[in-house]
Structure 1
Amino acid sequence: MSPRGLLHPDESASFVTTATREPAAGAAAFVEFYWHVRWRAPEPHDTKVLAHPNVHLVFEEPEPLVYGVDRGLFVRRLEGEGHVLGVKFRPGGFRSFAGGPVLDLADRRVPASEFFGPEVTGALRAVLDAADPAAEAEAFLLPRLPARPDPLAEEVAEMVARITDDPSLTRVADAARTLAVSTRTLQRLFAEYVGASPKWVLRRARLHEAAARADEGSTVDWAELAADLGYSDQSHLTRDFTATVGTSPAAYARA
């Protein structure tokens, strides 16, 4: 199954392989999973992803990077042959390393050495050359994790899961009521721990669903889907999708 958020997954299926691995118990409070992407591209190819509300530590050449939440469309050009190993932190899971609000990392790629010291650069080759890159990355990460998880980070991760899994929640005020917090508190927690606003998280979950439906290959009733996703009408869904992806959902489905 293609990762949710990857656009037009069939275009790269013949030359890209993706594997994921669950974290060990000692890392599970911070890490959602490890991902390993390997490619052998016959010609340059741009992969496009509607990112999730997560921070990633990516072991890649020429240096490991930390990727904040990409609030637009993430585009990565694949050329020749290569592979990268990523650590996908849980929403809120990177706050202990950030040194400030995670929102400060939004739409940025920062050298991982700023958060993990020069040792992370030294670990790059060990991770990428390992038979099991995910295990090697976890061996690097485990001794650097805080001794105790931040209980607020745990709470925020649950908040993100609840509002993204409930299609009936389309407004921040409704999400705040469901979570029994004020709108202002929800916004503050997301800026501090997630790196994107509650409105963005709600909107992105709807765009993930719209793209997934378009990629199924079957005919989509866009007016019905817009209603199911909580949009006021089909044109609202079209504007939202087009603003991020660069094409209307109907045109995306035909491409």
Structure 2
Amino acid sequence: MSANVIPIPLAMSNTFLLRGDRPILVDAGKPGEDDRLIAELARAGVKPEDLALIILTHGHTDHTGAARTFERFGVPIAIGAGDRDLLRNGKNGVLPATGAVGNVLRPSVKRMTCEGVTPQILVTEPLRLDEYGFGGEVLPVAGHTPGSCAVGLDSGEFIIGDLLRGGYCLGHLRPHRPLRHFYAEDVGEVRRALDGLLERDPRRFYVGHGGPGVDLASVRARIDKVAPHR
């Protein structure tokens, strides 16, 4: 695990603390996890007001739940432009399921709402993070949602949000095995995004659920299953 990436697994999703000249937080947990996330940051020696930036990989509320709290500390929020309204409304949108489990879970996921936030930074093209004290960039990777983003570190590590999930979800015992996420607004775009990231010869993928890292050899071997062309 890179010294620059500190995974913070929460009740439902993973957040990631990036250590550079100033810390950056990727994703913000589900609604009601504000205090827990702040406590986890404190264990790493980071106060909310120390954060240079919060990057949201997409606008679903299990990743944006504490965003409003951090905004109150003066931390700027970045999200893909296509997910601006999801974040501002604090709701999860249409949630097209990729299988039967997603259909079963959808009513409870729809009920998970949070206080809306107006982002300060809308990502429409690769955004370098140098001015925030970190070597990397935010990359638009539409597919899971229209505004989904990945964070690519100059070290070759990528935080890919919900393009994939790790296998522990729903009792699965192989947390590093990549699986298809329960929802995707454009399955073909998910595949194109993953193909594009794999062409960058990554060292590691971190995911928003399970993992937090997934096995890259398995991603390549299972790509047609976890991200079919459509």
TM-score, normalised via structure 1 length: 0.29
- Whose helix proportion is higher, 1 or 2? 1
Largest Rg, 1 or 2: 1
Greater RCO (Cα-Cα under 8 Å, separation 6 or more): 1
